[in-house]
Amino acid sequence: MAPSLIAALRNSHTSLPRWLRLCATCLALVPGGLLYAAENPTPAIKVDQVGYLADSPKFAVVSASAKTFEIRRSSDGMVEFQAALGPPVFDPLTGDTVETADFSPLRLPGTYFILIPGVGKSWTFRISGNVDDHAYYLAMRAFYGQRCGAAVDLGPEFPGYAHAACHLHGEFHPSSGKTGPRDNLGGWHDAGDYGRYMVNSGVSTGTLLWAWEIFGRNLGPIQLKIPETGNGTPDILNEARWNLKWMLAMQDTDGGAWHKQTSEHFSGFIAPEQDRLPSEVIGTGAPPYKSTCATADLAAVAAIAARVYKPYDPQFAAQALDAAERAWRWAEQYPDVTFRNPPGITTGEYGDFNCADERLWAAVELWRTTGDATYHRFFLKGYAPYLASLDSPPSANWSSMAPMALRSYVLSRRKDADAEAMAAIRARMLTAARAIVARTAASPYHVSLQAKDFVWGSNGIAAQYGMDLLIANEIEPNPDFVNTAREDLHYLLGRNTFSLCWVTRLGEHSVQHPHHRPSADGKQPGPWPGMLAGGPNAGRQDVVLAALPPDLPPAKIYADATASYAGNEIAINWQAPLVFLLAAQLHSEMSADGASTGEQAGKRTRN
Ligand code: G3I
Ligand code: 9MR
Ligand code: ZN
């Protein structure tokens, strides 16, 4: 029987007698189940190894010469769908010539693989109405794994993935303008290193809080099995608060915030609790010691926190607002104190030489929270030169906060917003989103990334494009925006030139050797789960990438190797837009009451 006929029989649930559908299953079992079970998957067939939402477009990519493909059920090899591949197309970003396998019509929930006779079979994937729930859970729990200053234990799902309270010996570095010991006050390890950095914490925590504000209805009931679970506050907010606590503690009595808290140099590849290098609060080395970018980021994030936590903990919300306002005033007084590593400090710098965009972001968030016209005026005076930042989002988002400032203005939906500013930002955002849609549709790998995006953390940039599109969808609902965002997720979860799922412990072929100290201390059989690796980087700033062949196209400059910190590290600022993207895929039907905050009661689209 022809596979397409089998599929047609199987899919026609109601119209055919059960015996005929069973018969189709029996016929399919022989060629599929017996012949292909033992075969190893081929990287030439690239699928999202987590899967595809049942009602969405479904593309796989094939880098081998073939004409047709089959989708088979993984349980018994039965053919569910068969179609022609698209024409071969050359992809300059990877140097691959690829065809698209479009199986959008297949909506039947199940676990499948793609089979191309003569080429091989793909890794498996699911089709389901809630395909990304587990990915969201793992990606959010990755933040829990990054907690500093407390014991962490992932429990029976990942036995042995635990660490004792770490970095308990803290002190003020002379560059901070203070001396003496310092308690560990929480926060997340930034990345594969054990530093905590305000600037990167700002964008990451802000992104998670936005995920809550926009997709809260989907997220409210999801339990992350963290120590706070069940305390009445949604877990995404419980987890974000762990980092907020540290950020708030980085504020000095004058309102300014120190730039970072790290050891003097990076520790070796040891477990966090084994790292006994003192954890130093590090400043600029000269009065006023705090940095403007760190302080303005704190103002922005604390202002968001003030509105988001209000229904759950009004006292904490008030504390956050007070911190935000004090930080704002400090940054007014010191608008351009930038940061460079002081002598003797070699950990990450997150040095940003212009903090005007961070202040713009702080102004919008404070205005959204308080309605105070002072912040609004500040924004209106300063936003126009940044409109262009929406056209082609910058490659380092931790240093370029203007797009978040502008988007936040539109997301506010406030009645006192300036009509002209609103219209200008909306138009620019929507034009940019349409351009991303168009170029993704033209991309052989169906991904939004361009050649210029293959820098340190390119996977974070792919996730950010998805986030930009989803925010555009909040402004003007458009299925193209939502579907294109999902294409970027498919790229991250396996539909890429390496056929690699870039999130650890997700899918059947995922990153094994992230540059992540807790994963590489040799105690566990595999990496800590749920973490997004940095991805291909044409900057090649480590020995592994530098040693790759010189003529590689940008999207190929990657190796799954622990030593590759410029390509295979993980970081909270790439993780947060991944969470945002995943949060958008979850279904609101799962939600309990009270998940939404005041602002988000407005229009939303669900997919
Ligand atoms: O944007 C430019 C681009 O125009 C240029 O063509 C390209 C050439 O290489 O460089 C691009 O800038 C790069 C930038 O990342 C892009 O995001 C810089 O070269 C590169 O040095 C910079 O790397 C940063 C890296 O720290 C080194 O400072 C990464 O953004 C940043 O994510 C990373 O952060 C580290 C922390 O320092 C320490 N903790 C781990 C964390 C993640 O690796
Ligand atoms: O492990 C460090 C990583 O977390 C940083 O992102 C990266 C860039 O700042 O640096 C890594 O540390 C390397 C150091 O810079 C150079 N010597 C090798 C270190 C990693 O083994
Ligand atoms: Zn720690």
More reliable by pLDDT, 607 or 251: 251
Residues 450, 345 share a domain = yes
Q: Is 348 in the pocket of ligand 1 (CB under 6 A)?
A: yes
Q: Is 569 in the pocket of ligand 2 (CB under 6 A)?
A: yes
pLDDT at 592 over 90: no
pLDDT at 578 over 50: yes
Give the helix ranges, DSSP H, for 121-263: 133-145, 198-219, 235-249
DSSP 379-415: HHHHSGGGGGGGTS--S-TTT--HHHHHHHHHHT--T
Mean pLDDT for the stretch of residues 146-166: 97
pLDDT at 589 over 70: no
pLDDT at 347 over 50: yes
Other beta carbons within 10 Å of 75: 12
pLDDT at 598 over 60: no
Final residue of a structural domain among 128, 156, 180: 128
Residues 141, 122 share a domain = no
Q: Is residue 371 part of a domain?
A: yes
Mean pLDDT for the stretch of residues 330-350: 98
Q: Is residue 24 part of a domain?
A: no
Comparing 16-20, 75-79, 391-395, 504-508, the range with the smallest average pLDDT is 16-20
Task: Report which protein residue has its CA nearest ligand 2's atom 11.
Answer: 565
Task: Report which protein residue has its CA nearest ligand 2's atom 18.
Answer: 563
Please give the Cα distance from 429 to 352 (Å, whole number): 24
- The two most distant CA atoms of the chain are separated, in Å, by 82
Confidence band of 588 (pLDDT split at 50, 70, 90): low
Residues 341, 289 share a domain = yes
Residues 145, 100 share a domain = no
pLDDT at 591 over 60: no
Residues 97, 71 share a domain = yes
pLDDT tens column, 168-195: 999 999 999 999 999 999 999 999 999 9
Distance of CA 565 from the midpoint of ligand 2 (Å): 6
Could you say which ligand is closest to the alpha carbon of residue 541?
1
DSSP 281-315: EE--SSTT-SBHHHHHHHHHHHHHHHHHSTTT-HH
Could you say which ligand is closest to the alpha carbon of residue 261?
3
pLDDT at 366 over 60: yes
Distance of CA 462 from the midpoint of ligand 2 (Å): 23
Question: Whole-prediction pTM value?
Answer: 0.93
Task: Report which protein residue has its CA nearest ligand 2's atom 9.
Answer: 348
pLDDT at 606 over 50: no
Q: Is residue 37 part of a domain?
A: no
Q: Over pLDDT 70: what percentage of the chain?
A: 90
Give me the active site residues, please.
193, 515, 560, 569
Average pLDDT, whole number, for the chain?
92
Report how many domains make up the chain. 2
Q: Is residue 506 part of a domain?
A: yes
Q: Is 542 in the pocket of ligand 2 (CB under 6 A)?
A: no
* pLDDT at residue number 603: 29
Asked if 270 contacts 248 with a C-beta cutoff of 8 angstroms, the reply is no
* pLDDT at residue number 395: 62
* pLDDT at residue number 602: 27
Q: Is 190 in the pocket of ligand 1 (CB under 6 A)?
A: yes
Final residue of a structural domain among 84, 104, 128: 128
Asked if 261 contacts 278 with a C-beta cutoff of 8 angstroms, the reply is no
Residues 114, 180 share a domain = no
Structural domain including 69 reads 42-128
* pLDDT at residue number 576: 98
Please give the Cα distance from 500 to 122 (Å, whole number): 12
pLDDT tens column, 215-229: 999 998 899 999 999
* pLDDT at residue number 159: 96
Residues 113, 261 share a domain = no
* pLDDT at residue number 1: 39
Domain with 414 in it: what CATH number? 1.50.10.10
Task: Report which protein residue has its CA nearest ligand 2's atom 12.
Answer: 266
* pLDDT at residue number 394: 63
pLDDT at 452 over 80: yes
Atom of ligand 1 nearest to the CA of 537: 9
pLDDT at 49 over 90: yes
* pLDDT at residue number 18: 52
Q: Is 352 in the pocket of ligand 1 (CB under 6 A)?
A: no
Q: Is 488 in the pocket of ligand 2 (CB under 6 A)?
A: no
Residues 272, 197 share a domain = yes
* pLDDT at residue number 27: 46
Atom of ligand 2 nearest to the CA of 347: 9
